[in-house]
Amino acid sequence: MFDEAGLAVQSALDAGAVYADARGVISRSETINVRNQNLDQMDRTEAVGVGVRALIGSSWGFAATADLTNDSIRAAGERAAAIALASGIVPGPRMEFADVPVVEDSWETPYEEDPFEVATSEKVDMLVNVTKTMQGVDGVAIATGTLTFYDTNKWFVSSQGHRIHQHIVESGGGYDATAIGEHETQRRSYPQSFGQYETGGFETVRAWDYEGNAQRIGEQAVALLTADEMEERETYLILEASQLALQIHESVGHAIELDRILGWEAAFAGTSHLELPKLHSHRYGSDLMNITADATLPGALGTFGYDDEGTAAQPVDIVKNGTWVGVLSGRDSAAVAGLSPGGMVRADGYNRLPMVRMTNVGLLPGSGTLEDIISDTDDGVYMSTNRSWSIDDKRLNFQFGTEIAWEVRNGKLGRMLKNPTYTGITPQFWGSLDRLTGETEWVHWGTPNCGKGQPIQVAHTGHSASPARFANVRVGVKA
Amino acid sequence: MNREQSLVNETLEMVGDRAEAQVLADVGTTALTRFANSFIHQNVSEDIEQVSLTVAVDGKVANSTTTATTPDALRRFVEAILDTTSNQPIDEDWAGMGGPTEVVAVDHWDVDTAEADPIVRAEAVKAFVDAGEGLLGAGYCQTESRGHAYGNTAGRRVHGRFTTAVVDGIHQTPTSAGSGHAAGVALSGIDAGAVGALAAQRARDSVGALDTKPGEYRVVLSPECIATIAVFLNVYGFNGKMAEEGMSFVDLGEQQFDEAFDLLDSPTNPASLYLPFDVEGTPKRHLDLVKAGVTTSLLHTRRTARKAGTESTGHAAQGAEAWGPFAWNMFVGGGGNSVDELIAGVDRGIYVSTFNYCRVLDPKSLVVTGLTRNGTFMIENGEITHPVTNMRFTQSFVDALAPGTIEGVGDDARFADSEFGSTFIHSPSMQLGGWNFTGGAEG
């Protein structure tokens, strides 16, 4: 596909572009859903095409086609240039484009078992078995399991001379049990809500011991129907790591996207409470808060070799000892802000415009264990596994619900609590981080469903986290 | 025969008599011009040609979708999906395929929108931006034109086409924002300058917002807010799959809503967008979901209908087997009150322009948390007195529309931007008796 991408770039240049790049992409996915031991869905997709981006003056144009004939690819390049010219009707300031090394390279996700070569029957049986185990618990009404795999080959060519091929393999899945009461439903999920996804092959799924946790998940879903409601109050909040990963995603990951900070996402996703003049001085959280955006973490979902502008994957400090020090950026946004591009621009397929996306935005671990934190807490709540999430357009005011919680009394877990929620304001919340567990409980959680952009794009992002405690958090918000 | 019909026939011929098969071909263009900080910063166009195939071999069912549509690529695609089924268990809920049918003759199509070029979209953006002099505009103008053809081995063949156009955006002052939205079958039917002017007015009116104490308030909700409520009712309530599993609040035949509340799905309404059939080729018809507050129907696919012992209502959506049926032509019944009259009926309450980031805490009770955005105002003694900062709510959407709660319905029904999309809910403003705000801007 280097030839097709190169032809698109040349066509855009011939039509007047001062810069152009293109990606030829062959991507495929497989999704298997089992519901109550029945194969509910066996879906495969493949998308093959070329997307080309052209810059004329201060304006961009982008066009995509799945028709790989030379005529169609040339037309796409010309259309990208024509769209860029039309963008000039409502022009912006002069467009800068930060320099990055021009690279010819290839990169591949390390993996052991190609998930597309694992027998369909083995994958289906795995999900049938866990749903059978969960359904074996009296009171479980719905038991579902999902596996999804992605295999993406992309060839990137730019008018500056980049030629990069990447092969990215992603695997994951999970399952949940739902119990239904007269006026409520209760759900428990494993390994986390919407499943756990990583870069790698089928070996990443095997590592999660699906069968070994199914009975517990079913029992907890049923037990929640008769559990006590969480009362509304301010207290110590201990977060299980996958919930903390989503907290990082929503209240840090999106807030540090430079396109949001610059106002480029204002109408849809929103902006950010962060202001560039306060970079290196804004207090984001407590001294325990150290956040990095690291696209090189082995196995994490947001790991790759190069972003979709040809910038090499790299680790970037975001928050250091509680102070905001970095952003997620691309070549154009970094230039506007006077920063170095961080290699964080990706597109959801050949037919989407590359844009700033999270890589692996994670909280570096502290020390000790979850057991230590619970032992040291006289009065608080421990909340696990996301159920709902909502945050405002500046990434300040949030409310999360989790599937399950337990009260913590005198250093021990107590009653199970249902319908747990907590709410807060981003800097105050992160400022109240007072305990953070160590590397033994640090997991590269993956979020496979991050929506952003118009037309909407779905990104796969990683968020490393270990359990942590926050002081004086408002919990138990009710309708 | 158009391209999408050719793709359907070609694919079915390749399958032959080796399986039950259904094919949906989607051909067309989607283009979107996006602006922020009052200039166009992203501008895209995509030619779409996609084939989706479902095969069933002795009850073993698999679906696959491809954008590779050359004859050789389609042949490989067909062989791969047939091969996939050999290692699968039987799908006990497979509902089979429908035979020959007729669909309602509607053509929600505008040739100028189908042929809209980037200059036309850029001019719409310019009109929106120019309407907010001194403000920062952000949003998008989208045009799309699509042809869909469906065919199966049981002899069903249907096809149709549609265009849509959307202008949506905000204007911003340094401390406030206001939104505007319009959608329809034709871009020429949208006054982008008027949409921008509304957004600018709301932004200017929102300057100097004050914090307000959380609590229960009477509210006047814009069409955008009502559209978001309707789309949650759609996904979590009237969804036949959720109902079959006991996850829905719906209780057919019961007065679950205020008698002023009507909700229906209709592809034949002249204002409708999209197609009169679903991805299973099932014809759609006018379907009352709530009439005078009484819940009357559920949405069904062939699969959910089989389980419920009824007929599909034509609401199967692409790739939505896990979620269940979805309505694309929803109308919330309009009323006779102007927005000023709705506001005049409130002694003390809040006007909300837009909801933001709504998420379900419990699907059965449909308790949802979210925030207000782009224009929230205090109403006192029947008049808007000042803007207020964005607020968080935690509210059951079903309880909010329960009998006795709707105090007025607006005469301003239009396509409104919902949480899940901008072109499939047609709704008015409403005055509601109570809304539970659980937090202010500072928590």
From the CA atom positions of chain A, what is the Rg in Å?
23
Q: Which of B365, B212, B342 is nearest to A401 (CA)?
A: B365
Supply φ then ψ for residue B321, to 5 degrees: -60, -40
> What sign results for the dihedral spanned by CA atoms A46, A78, A336, A160?
positive
User: In this structure, what CATH number is given to the domain that contains residue B110?
Assistant: 3.30.2290.10
Number of domains in chain B: 2
Rounded to whole angstroms, the Cα distance separating A21 from A162 reads 9
Contact B73 A48 (CB under 8 A): yes
pLDDT above 90 (res A447): yes
| B54 and B194 assigned to the same domain | yes
Cα(B427)–Cα(B414) distance, integer angstroms? 5
Domain containing A308 equals 229-475
For every residue of B234-259, DSSP letters joined together read HHHTSBHHHHHTT-----TTSB-S-T
pLDDT digit string, tens, across residues A292-301: 999 999 999 9
Q: Indicate the pLDDT class of residue B318, thresholds 50, 70 and 90.
A: confident
Q: Are residues A48 and A9 part of one domain?
A: yes
A85 and A55 assigned to the same domain = yes
* B179 shares a domain with B302: no
Tell me how far apart the alpha carbons of residues A28 and A152 are, in angstroms, rounded to a whole number.
6
Task: Return the structure tokens found at B141.
Answer: 């103008």
- Cβ atoms < 10 Å from Cβ of B351: 24
Range of the domain at B262: 208-443
Q: Would you say residue B322 has pLDDT above 90? A: no
Do B196 and B304 lie in one domain? The reply is no
Q: Which residues of A touch B80 (CB under 8 A)?
A: 44
Under an 8 A CB cutoff, do B361 and A388 touch?
yes
Q: Say if A449 is an interface residue toward chain B (CB within 8 Å).
A: no
**Alpha helices (H) in A111-240, listed in sequence order:** 120-135, 203-206, 210-225
* Cross-chain residue pair A63–B44, CB shorter than 8 Å: yes
Among residues 180-239 of chain B, which lie with CB inside 8 Å of chain A?
none
Boundary-marking domain end, from A211, A226, A241: A226
Q: How far apart are CA B47 and CA B51, in angstroms?
A: 14
- Show which of residues 428-447 on chain A sit within 8 Å of chain B, judged by CB atoms: 428
Cβ burial of A90 (10 Å; 0-12, 13-18, 19+) is buried
Same domain, B239 and B145: no
Q: Tell me which residue in A93, A401, A423 faces B439 most closely, judged by beta carbons.
A: A423
Asked if residue A219 has pLDDT above 80, the reply is yes
| Closest CA of chain B from A228, distance in Å | 16
Q: Which residues, including other chains, have CB under 8 Å from residue A429's CB and lie 6 or more apart?
A: A251, A285, A398, A470, A473
Is there a contact between B118 and A424 if contact means CB atoms under 8 Å apart?
Answer: no
Say if residue B285 is exposed, middle or buried (CB neighbours under 10 Å; 0-12, 13-18, 19+). middle
Q: Check if B125 contacts A (Cβ < 8 Å).
A: yes
Q: A220: which 2 tokens?
A: 């907890």
* Spatial distance between the Cα atoms of B69 and A136, rounded to a whole number of angstroms: 45
Residues of A in contact with B126 (CB under 8 A): 89-90
ipTM over 0.85: yes
Query: pLDDT > 90: what percent of chain A?
Result: 97
Q: Which residues of B touch A128 (CB under 8 A)?
A: 89
Where does a domain end: B185, B202, B219?
B202
Same domain, A195 and A281: no
Using a CB–CB cutoff of 8 Å, tell me whether B61 touches chain A.
yes
Residues A320 and A462 in one domain: yes
Placement of tokens 């930060």 in the chain: A98
B182 and B165 fall within a common domain: yes
Per-position DSSP letters for B290-325, written without gaps between them:
EETTEE---B--HHHHHHHTS---S---TT-TTT--
Mean of the per-residue pLDDT values of chain A: 97
Cross-strand bridge partners of residue A152: A27, A168
Digit-coded pLDDT (tens) for A44-66: 999 999 999 999 998 999 999 99
Q: Looking at the structure, do residues B174 and B312 belong to the same domain, yes or no?
A: no
Contact A66 B69 (CB under 8 A): yes
Query: What's the pLDDT score for residue B421?
Result: 83
Render pLDDT for B72-86 as a digit per residue (tens, 0 to 9): 999 999 999 999 898
3-state helix, strand, coil in chain A (%, to 5): 25, 40, 35
Residues forming a β-bridge with A320: A323
**Whether A320 contacts A364, CB under 8 Å:** no
The answer to whether residues A281 and A188 belong to one domain is no
Cα gap A121→B85, rounded to integer Å: 10
Q: Is the pLDDT of residue B67 over 80?
A: yes
Q: B434 to chain A, minimum CA–CA distance in Å?
A: 12
Q: Tell whether B192 and B274 lie within a shared domain.
A: no
pLDDT of res. B441: 66
B35–chain A Cβ distance below 8 A for any pair: yes
Q: For residues B308 and B174, state if they share a domain.
A: no
Question: What sign does the CA torsion over A108, A110, A114, A115 have?
Answer: negative
Give the burial class of B381: count Cβ atoms within 10 A of its Cβ; 0-12 exposed, 13-18 middle, 19 or more buried. exposed
Helix (H, G, I), strand (E, B) or coil at B75: helix
Residue ending a domain, choose from A196, A226, A256: A226
Same domain, B76 and B221: no
Average pLDDT in the A252-267 region? Answer: 98
Q: Answer yes or no: do A300 and A427 share one domain.
A: yes
Cα nearest neighbour of A50 on chain B: B46
Same domain, A220 and A95: yes
In this complex, the residue of A43, A58, A399 whose CB is nearest that of residue B319 is A43
**B325 and B359, same structural domain?**
yes
Cβ of B364 within 8 Å of Cβ of A79? The answer is: no
Q: How many domains does chain A have?
A: 2
Average pLDDT over residues A2-9: 98
> What average pLDDT does the structure give for chain B?
96
Residue B442 confidence (pLDDT) above 70: no
- Could you tell me if A106 lies within 8 Å of chain B, comparing CB atoms? no
Give the three-state DSSP class for A364.
coil
Q: Using omega within 30 degrees of 0 as the cis cutoff, is the peptide bond preceding A191 cis?
A: yes
B272/B295 Cα distance (integer angstroms): 22
Hey, what's the torsion of the CAs at A468, A469, A470, A474, to 10 degrees? 110
Residue that has been written with the tokens 């900070």 in this structure: A261
- Measured between beta carbons, the chain A residues lying within 8 angstroms of B43 are 59-62, 83-84, 86-87
Does residue A334 sit in the same domain as residue A253?
Answer: yes
pLDDT at B142: 98
pLDDT of amino acid B443: 60
**Dmax (CA) of chain B:** 72
Residues A70 and A184 in one domain: yes
Contacting residues of B for A264, CB less than 8 Å apart:
36-37, 41-42
pLDDT band at A182 (very low <50, low <70, confident <90, very high): confident
Compute the distance between CA of residue B258 and CA of residue A311 in angstroms, rounded to an integer.
57
Supply the CATH number for residue A60's domain.
3.30.2290.10
Q: Are residues A117 and A264 in the same domain?
A: no
Phi/psi of residue A247, nearest 5 degrees: -60, -40
Q: Are residues B185 and B252 in the same domain?
A: no
Tell which of A200, A226, A252 closes a domain: A226
The three-state DSSP-derived secondary structure of A286-353 is CCCCCEEEECCCCCCCCCCCECCCCCECCEEEEEECCEECCCECCHHHHHHHCCCCCCCEECCCCCCC
Shortest CA distance from B356: residue in chain A: A392
- Kindly state whether residues B224 and B149 are assigned to the same domain: no
Shortest CA distance to A22 belongs to which of A42, A37, A8? A8
Residues A319 and A399 in one domain: yes
**Whether A145 contacts chain B with CB within 8 A:** no
Q: Is A265 on the interface with B (CB under 8 A)?
A: yes
Report the percent of chain A where pLDDT is more than 70.
Answer: 100
Q: Is the pLDDT of residue B422 over 90?
A: no
Residues of A in contact with B93 (CB under 8 A): 38, 40
What phi, psi does B350 have (nearest 5°)?
Answer: -135, 135
Cα(A6)–Cα(A161) distance, rounded to whole angstroms? 10
Phi, psi of B323 (to 5 degrees): -90, -35
Handedness of CA B103, B104, B105, B108 (dihedral sign): negative
Question: Is the domain of A307 the same as that of A349?
Answer: yes
| Span B358-376, average pLDDT | 94
What letter represents residue A261's amino acid?
A: I
**d(C-alpha B154, C-alpha B281), whole Å:** 11
Angstrom distances, CA of residue B47 to CA of A12, A45, A56, A65, A266: 17, 18, 22, 5, 27
Res B320: pLDDT: 72
pLDDT (0 to 100) of residue B237 = 97
The predicted-structure confidence for A323-333, as pLDDT tens digits, reads as follows 999 999 999 99
- Cβ–Cβ below 8 Å for A91 and B40: yes
Checking if the pLDDT of B420 tops 90, the result is no
